[in-house]
Structure formats: C-alpha cells, structure tokens
Amino acid sequence: MIWVIATATCKELVRSRTFLVLILIFAVAVGLSRLIGWISSTDGDIVTTDVVFSLQSVFGVLVAVATGTVLMQSEIQQQTLYTILSRPLERWHFVVGKYLGLSAGLIIGQAAMLVIGLLYLAVTGAAVHGWLVLAGLLTTVEVLVMAAVSLCSTMLSTPLLAAVLSLIIYALGHAVHTLPELIHHLGHGQQLVVSVIASLIPDLGQFAYRNDAVYRTPLMPADLAVRLAYGGLWIALLVTVTVAVFRRRQL
C-alpha cells in the first residue's frame, strides 16, 4: 500500500502546474545566468557555473516547499484522506508513502535541473566535469531534507505558515554551517545555548559542495558518506516526528 500511495503522489507531483512552472522558470533563470558571468570581474565561466548550481538548490527547495506543504492538507480538504484511511491502512503507511512519492518526484525534478544546467554550461563553453554531478547529488539530498521539513511543518500548522517556516529553516540551515566561526566572541554559557538551538536545525551547509565543485576541489569518499548519512538521519527523524503528530491528529 505504501508503494501505491508513493506512486500516485509522484505522478500527481510531476503533473502539477507548480512543478512544471518552477522547472520552466529555472530553465529561464539558467539562460540568464550568463549575464552575471559577463558583468563579473572574475572568470565568467566559473561565476556562471556557481550561479547555475545555486539556482538548482533554490528552485529545488521551492518545489519541495510548495508541494510538500500542501500534500497532506489537500488530502484532508478534498476528503480523499478519509477514503484512504477507511481501508486497512496504518497512518504511518500513509505518511511514509507520501514522503517517498514526494521524494521520487523531487529527484526527477533535480535530475531535470541538473541536465538542463550541465547542457547549458556545455553549450556556453564552460567546463563540465564529474565534480559538478556530485554537487548535484548533494543538492538533491538537501532538497529531500527540506521536503521532510515541509511535510513535518504542515502537520504542525497551516500550509502558508508551514511554507514560511520551511523557508526560514532553509535560510537558517545555511547560516548554521558558519556558526562555529561566528560565536567565538560569546561567553561559554551563551555559546552553549546557541549551539543547542542550532542543533535543532539541519545543517544544510553539509550539502553545499557546489561552490567547491566549481573549482574541482576533491570530496573524499568518507566525507561524502558522512554527509549522506547526516541527511538520511535528518530525514528519518523528521518523518518520524510527522508520523507521531499525524497519529495523534483528529481528522
């Protein structure tokens, strides 16, 4: 039953207007990225590549938030959820199926964005290499973490508030990565408080290899494994919280 829900969710996502429009806007933004490379005082190809992969992250997260925050609520509002739960189906099956379907659709979207970006770079004469593909993989993990964040947020609030909260977490998630460099001037007690608060937010900087990939900075297999495991643990935690809240929710 999880597979059925996941398949239906994935099909619904890739056919949705929001998904298709954001992919189209991404393609247009990639086409305009060369303008930034031209006006840059540094290497235009490097700047263009950096912009293209930054756009993949931003638009991937926008797709995750825009779709993840309405998945559950749309089922409730359209009353299709009651039909599904009237069958011999555990609530955690429904949540896991929804997340897997959302993830599958987002992976398709990320693959499309990566292909569009790499093709554009190749056509414009910028260097295309394997490190960029690895950067795209880690960006996909980042998007999947944000999908879990948006799904969890929508269980705790309205879709609009969940979307705002998810975008705030996205911004804070990248700020958390530079936190050790910024809190050295604080007292020991203040550092402890800030560190505890920061630990409640996923460190999305773990997946921002794209800036290093542009300069072909190698990523060791052990480091890659740690980053993938970190993303997997956050996804598992957020989906578990979503399941726990959904089980207690009165429908």
Cα separation, 204 vs 175, whole angstroms: 8
Asked if 71 and 102 count as a contact pair (C-beta separation under 8 A), the reply is: yes
Which of the pair, 89 or 234, is modelled with greater confidence? Answer: 234
Query: Over the stretch 38-62, which tens digit does the pLDDT of each residue have?
Result: 666 555 678 888 889 999 999 999 9
Structural domains in the chain (count): 1
Question: Could you give the percent of the chain with pLDDT greater than 90?
Answer: 47
On the question of pLDDT at 219 being above 70, the answer is yes
Query: Over the stretch 128-182, which tens digit does the pLDDT of each residue have?
Result: 999 999 999 999 999 999 999 999 998 888 888 989 999 999 999 988 877 666 6
What are residue 201's phi and psi, to 5 degrees?
-120, 130
Which of the pair, 45 or 32, is modelled with greater confidence? Answer: 32
**DSSP H helical segments within the chain, as ranges?**
2-15, 17-39, 44-77, 80-85, 91-123, 130-156, 159-176, 179-182, 188-198, 210-214, 221-248
Which tokens is 73 given?
């609520």
Cα separation, 53 vs 34, whole angstroms: 13
Domain that residue 13 falls in: 2-248
pLDDT of amino acid 157:
82
Cα separation, 204 vs 187, whole angstroms: 26
What are residue 37's phi and psi, to 5 degrees?
-65, -40
**Mean of the pLDDT values across residues 103-121?**
95
Of 110, 104, 116, whose CA–CA distance to 135 is shortest?
A: 110
pTM of the predicted model as reported, rounded to 2 decimal places:
0.90
pLDDT of amino acid 100:
95
Of 47, 57, 49, whose CA–CA distance to 110 is shortest?
A: 57
Q: Which residue pairs, CB below 8 angstroms and at least 24 apart, start in 69-72?
A: 69/150, 69/151, 69/153, 69/154, 69/159, 69/160, 69/162, 69/163, 69/166, 70/154, 70/159, 71/9, 71/98, 71/102, 71/151, 71/154, 72/98, 72/151, 72/154, 72/155, 72/246
**Mean of the pLDDT values across residues 231-239?**
96
Of 68, 86, 66, 54, whose CA–CA distance to 21 is shortest?
A: 66
